[in-house]
């Protein structure tokens, strides 16, 4: 079941032998949460779902954090080790929409939606164009607690409570911007040390010198307000100078445009800011190749490597095969060779089914 709305998106993964029953449950959930009307032009692909039973009950507990000001992809994972969330969807454009408008509306980043729609003009989308919404994600290989940032994917995953695998687990995910090649976002484990509303920005000397070389002058201190690149909220990390924060230039979310910090849409950072506590663990990983099971189907998600991590296509294929070998040692499967090769032709961040589990008695 997937319910897509203009201001709030709530996605519950569950399987029913009677699709009509799932639809009725969706409608009841929708009415109970009093969400806005769905966009009628949205079409969902009929993809496999993860089975669960008490998921709707967990959703109601999670739903209290939603407001009409928030735009998030929220999921409730069933017990176990589900490796895939969401669905690939399409939407038909209307009016004067751009891909940037659609990306922000559906909680996607600039590069995400551009890679999924290579034939669509980014700033001039003809009326009636079918746009792919890449809202299906393989979860990164990381501890499922706190904040997980996958740098090449330019996406944050937030687990409000640690996932033990023994009970339902809530997950929210947001697109982000990361550091440019000369200002890389650092990898590793850290934590949130401070939460600051309406932050003041004190540009480091290195950034002020860079601005001078570009013919710009930065003040020593930028007060809160529309000219502050940190936006209205900031989560400070236990890495000097690095933060997860908002922005005064939301069109750049989902691109490599920062000086190493993690930038979010204004509505997303406001949402996340209210949920995150000081001390929340943060894992920053770099995983272009991700594998995840959905039932008996193994999916692979490929994201383009960062410029400084460039490898040839053949090298990427070799790395992916090594990852598949590891996965096969844990759970045997039959590789779908044609689909595996097609994934490298697209390299668009959309998960592709590449394996079927070998069933044993």
**pLDDT of 258-268, one tens digit each?**
877 999 999 99
- pLDDT for res 95: 79
Q: List 177's β-bridge partners, or say none.
A: 263
Q: Is residue 101 part of a domain?
A: yes
Q: How many domains does the chain have?
A: 3
Q: Is residue 85 part of a domain?
A: yes
Q: Is residue 240 part of a domain?
A: yes
Specify whether 262 is located in the same domain as 311.
no
- pLDDT for res 327: 96
Higher-scoring residue by pLDDT: 316, 30 = 316
- pLDDT for res 181: 65
- Reported as a pLDDT band with limits 50, 70 and 90, residue 217 is confident
Q: Is residue 17 part of a domain?
A: yes
DSSP string covering 102-140: HHHHTT--HHHHHHH-TTS-SS-PPTT-EEEEEEEEEPP
Sequence-distant (6+) residues with CB within 8 A of 176 are: 109, 149, 154, 155, 156, 244, 253, 254, 262, 263, 264
Lowest mean pLDDT among 30-34, 62-66, 193-197, 294-298: 30-34
Specify whether 53 is located in the same domain as 132.
yes
Specify whether 350 is located in the same domain as 300.
yes
In this predicted structure, the answer to whether residue 7 has a pLDDT above a threshold of 80 is no
Catalytic residue among 14, 163, 169, 261: 261
Question: Averaged over 306-332, what is the pLDDT?
Answer: 93
- pLDDT for res 182: 65
Question: Averaged over 24-48, what is the pLDDT?
Answer: 34
Q: Please name which of 357, 345, 203 lies closest in space to residue 292, comparing C-alpha atoms.
A: 357
Q: Is residue 207 part of a domain?
A: yes
Residue 206, token pair as written in the block: 């290195």
Residue 95, token pair as written in the block: 């009016």
Question: Averaged over 234-263, what is the pLDDT?
Answer: 91
Specify whether 123 is located in the same domain as 24.
yes
Specify whether 316 is located in the same domain as 253.
no
Cα 117 from Cα 198, distance rounded (Å): 36
Three-state secondary-structure class, residue 62: helix
Specify whether 315 is located in the same domain as 274.
no
Final residue in a domain of this structure, among 285, 310, 344: 285
Cα 56 from Cα 61, distance rounded (Å): 9
Give the orientation angle of helix 337-346 with respect to helix 313-330, to 10 degrees. Answer: 140
Catalytic residue among 4, 52, 163, 245: 245
Q: Is residue 104 part of a domain?
A: yes
Higher-scoring residue by pLDDT: 188, 37 = 188
Three-state secondary-structure class, residue 245: strand
Question: Averaged over 150-173, what is the pLDDT?
Answer: 93
Q: Is residue 9 part of a domain?
A: yes
Q: Which domain holds residue 228?
A: 184-285
Specify whether 16 is located in the same domain as 113.
yes
Percentage of the chain surpassing pLDDT 70? 80
Specify whether 13 is located in the same domain as 65.
yes
Q: Please name which of 201, 196, 200 lies closest in space to residue 273, comparing C-alpha atoms.
A: 196
Cα 141 from Cα 85, distance rounded (Å): 14
Q: What is the pTM of this model?
A: 0.81
Q: In the annotation, is 261 catalytic?
A: yes
Give me the half-sphere count of Cα atoms (radius 13 Å) on the Cβ side of residue 62.
28
pLDDT in tens, 128-156: 999 999 999 999 999 999 999 999 999 99
- Reported as a pLDDT band with limits 50, 70 and 90, residue 6 is very low
Specify whether 203 is located in the same domain as 222.
yes
Q: Is residue 170 part of a domain?
A: no
Q: List 189's β-bridge partners, or say none.
A: 283
Higher-scoring residue by pLDDT: 128, 219 = 128
């Amino acid at each position: 079941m997937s319910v897509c709305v203009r201001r709030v998106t709530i996605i519950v993964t569950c399987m029913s032998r009677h699709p009509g029953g799932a639809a009725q449950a969706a409608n009841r959930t929708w009415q109970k949460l009093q969400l806005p009307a769905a966009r009628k032009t949205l079409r969902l692909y009929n993809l496999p779902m993860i089975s669960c039973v008490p998921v709707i009950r967990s959703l109601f507990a999670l739903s209290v954090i939603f407001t009409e000001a928030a735009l998030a992809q929220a999921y409730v994972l069933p017990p176990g080790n589900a490796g895939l969330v969401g669905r690939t969807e399409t939407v038909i454009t209307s009016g004067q929409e751009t891909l940037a408008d659609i990306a922000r509306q559906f909680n996607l980043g600039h590069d995400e939606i551009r890679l999924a729609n290579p034939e669509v003009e980014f700033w001039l989308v003809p009326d009636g164009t079918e746009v792919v919404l890449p809202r299906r994600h393989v979860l990164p290989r990381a501890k499922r607690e706190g904040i997980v940032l996958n740098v090449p994917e330019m996406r944050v995953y937030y687990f409000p409570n640690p996932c033990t695998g023994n009970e339902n687990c809530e997950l929210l995910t947001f697109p982000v911007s990361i550091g440019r090649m000369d200002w890389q976002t650092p990898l590793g484990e850290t934590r949130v040390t401070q939460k600051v509303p309406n932050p003041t920005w004190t540009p480091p000397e290195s950034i002020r010198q860079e601005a001078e070389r570009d013919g710009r002058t930065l003040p020593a201190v930028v007060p809160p307000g529309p000219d502050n690149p940190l936006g209205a909220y900031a989560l400070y990390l236990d890495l000097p100078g690095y933060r997860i924060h908002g922005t005064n230039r939301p069109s750049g979310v989902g691109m490599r445009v920062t000086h190493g910090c993690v930038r979010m849409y204004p509505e997303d950072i406001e949402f996340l800011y209210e949920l995150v506590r000081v001390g929340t663990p943060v894992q920053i990983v770099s995983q272009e190749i991700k594998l995840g099971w959905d039932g008996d189907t193994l999916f692979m998600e490929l994201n383009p490597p960062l410029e400084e991590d460039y490898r040839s296509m053949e090298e990427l294929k070799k790395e992916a095969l090594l990852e598949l070998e590891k996965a096969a040692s844990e759970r045997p499967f039959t590789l779908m060779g044609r689909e595996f090769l097609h994934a490298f032709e697209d390299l668009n961040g959309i998960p592709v089914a590449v394996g079927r589990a070998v069933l044993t008695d």
